[in-house]
Amino acid sequence: MAQRTESDEPPEELVGPLGRGLAVLRAVAAGPGNRHRPGDLARATGLARSTVDRVATTLLRLGYVRAEERDLLLAPRAAELGNAYLSSTGLPEAVGPHAVALADALDESVSVAVPDGDGVRFVAQAARRRAMAISFRAGDVLPAERCAPGALFAADWSDAEWEAWRARHREDPLDSAFPAVPPRTPSGTDGSEGGDGSTDAVEAGFRARADRSRTDGWAADDQLIEAGLIAVALPVHDKAGAVVCAVSVVSHTSRHDIDSLAAVALPPLRAAVAAMEGALAAVSSAERGEPPAGPGTAALKEELGAGFLQSLARGLDVLCAFGAVRGPARLSELARLTDLPRATARRALITLCHLGYVREDEDGFRVLPRVLELGHARVSGLTLVEIATPHLAELVVRVHESASVAVLDGEDIRYVARVASSRIMHIDIRVGTRLPAYATSMGRVLLGALPEEERAAALASLRPEALTPRTVATPEALAEAVAETARRGYGWVEQELEEGLRSLAAPVTDGRGRVVAAVNVALHAGRCPAEESLAELLPHLLGTAAAISADLAAVSRWSPVRVS
């Protein structure tokens, strides 16, 4: 079975609900805003409104999208589709650390990109924090002719690939289909190459740069993306000598011109690429593990009936399963990983190949970078606050008490997200508030999660004060309270920070199991006995902590998550 594209004649075994479901998910990811009404999605995809509703119901229950009133938004779990591609390639592990080290050494941004048809798609970024920041998100795609990696990839294009590029440029000469870059201006005054902007003129300049990169071994971007932005790039080869990605050092004309950037960056860039190629050669092709566990599709089908598209859910499971196998995957592996019959898995693969998300080679099936268009760029940039806030809102609706997320900041906790209850008497705390860690439930969770030596040092540096008659204020008692919090897995503080204030907290973990934040519910202690509060609130709080942790694990798998 050869690789297919959506323009090819559909195969007989095509799984229609899977194709329609991916079209809706793609429309949610590619839309100009974050929010989408089902009617808008029907117009964007050309599907019937009833079909969009069934797809949306299925994607909602699977966790790939979420709903706010009548709007649909991408959910963090959508990152798992792109994660499957990134995990299967081994690129983030082999190339990412060297890109970060290179960015630190040069004090310039470094990006890693892969070829994707006639485009260039970013898969990793080590950005510098400056007022004039330079950053692309993992999953963003650029026209090949407007960046340095594109010239490196085009140096090996066939006649058919050049013709595909020409067809795309003729259809979209202003690059309006590439939202990650500023559109071209018809006059060509935006700094992009190509004189009058015609396809012939742009192609002449692009071919010249591709030929030059083949001769020189590196490529330059002298303000092709936008005025002031420059870059130099080198290709990274696999063991067989094929170019698998390109690494760019990106700067600004306020710091360098293209010649000075090349002089400064190319020597360490060559050393970094050599190290990357060595790391890629050492990457194992063995199975990596199990794909992310999703809800049981059989149970959901029984619950929702015709409103749930089981074949869409199964196809998405097959796509995610590629993340458990390094390199090409056999049909038998994917069927086993998804617990599907071989025939069912095969039909899903035929559909994914037709849509351009998977390719079949002699040694098995490979997931392709186009998968990253299914929302990865949008969700990989989510912050902890953006991930946690919808879950806090749901928790507040369930328990009718205020909920917050905080991180450890020195001897204090710092609130980073909060949703207040609608009670007349509620806890008045705002984002940014700092409170002493020793007297708060979230602080004890975060202190208790520290490694033993680090925890001992942190506790030794504290000077606890009796803020109320109930405050644990002696070093010995505080150390025991923190240890007990760690043992039981949740924090409980009864009127220690303030008279009448009761707080219950649970840890939030990342994909590596590290506690990075805490979530809590705070209420007035006079509302009910402590035991009743614990029995009523703890299950909801632990469920919210688990949901935030699962979303954080998906988003942070290959992209660091900022706190705010």
Whole-number pLDDT of residue 421: 84
C-alpha span between 541 and 544 (Å, rounded): 5
Question: 16-83+287-377 maps to which CATH number?
Answer: 1.10.10.10
Residues in contact with 484: Cβ distance below 8 Å, sequence separation at least 6, in sequence order? none
CA angle 367, 370, 376 (to 5 degrees): 100
C-alpha span between 203 and 196 (Å, rounded): 12
What is the band of 182 on the pLDDT scale with cuts at 50, 70, 90? confident
pLDDT for residue 284 is more than 90? no
Strands 358-361 and 364-367: antiparallel
Three-state DSSP at 80 gives helix
Backbone angles phi, psi at 114, to 5 degrees: -120, 155
DSSP state, residue 183: P
Instruction: Name the token pair of 449.
Output: 């999660």
pLDDT for residue 31 is more than 80? no
pLDDT for residue 288 is more than 70? no
Which CATH topology does 384-555 take?
Beta-Lactamase (3.30.450)
Give pTM, 2 decimals.
0.89
Place of tokens 């705390």: 429
Residues in contact with 462: Cβ distance below 8 Å, sequence separation at least 6, in sequence order? 411, 437, 438, 475, 478
Superfamily for domain range 105-277: GAF domain (3.30.450.40)
What is the band of 281 on the pLDDT scale with cuts at 50, 70, 90? confident
Instruction: Name the token pair of 369.
Output: 């970078």
- 236 and 246 Cβ atoms separated by less than 8 Å: yes
- Cα–Cα distance list, 454 to 295, 442, 472, 482, 526 (Å): 38, 17, 20, 13, 36
Residues in contact with 366: Cβ distance below 8 Å, sequence separation at least 6, in sequence order? 88, 322, 327, 328, 329, 358, 359, 360
Shared fold status for 105-277 and 384-555: yes
Concatenate the DSSP letters of all residues of 388-448 into one string.
Answer: HHHHHHHHHHHH-SEEEEEEEETTEEEEEEEE----SS-----TT-EEEGGGSHHHHHHHH
Place of tokens 């606050």: 385
Q: Which amino acid is at 217?
A: G
Name the residue ranges covered by the structural domains of the chain.
16-83+287-377, 105-277, 384-555
Q: What percent of the chain has pLDDT over 90?
A: 74
- Mean pLDDT is lowest, of 99-113, 276-290, 404-418, 545-559, for 276-290
pLDDT for residue 309 is more than 60? yes
Buried/exposed 499-533: b ≥16 CB within 10 Å, e otherwise: eebbbbbbbbbbbeeebbbbbbbbbebeeeeeeeb
pLDDT for residue 194 is more than 60? no
pLDDT tens-digit readout, 520-551: 999 888 788 888 889 999 999 999 999 999 99
Concatenate the DSSP letters of all residues of 97-145 into one string.
Answer: HHHHHHHHHHTSEEEEEEEETTEEEEEEEE----SS-----TT-EEEGG
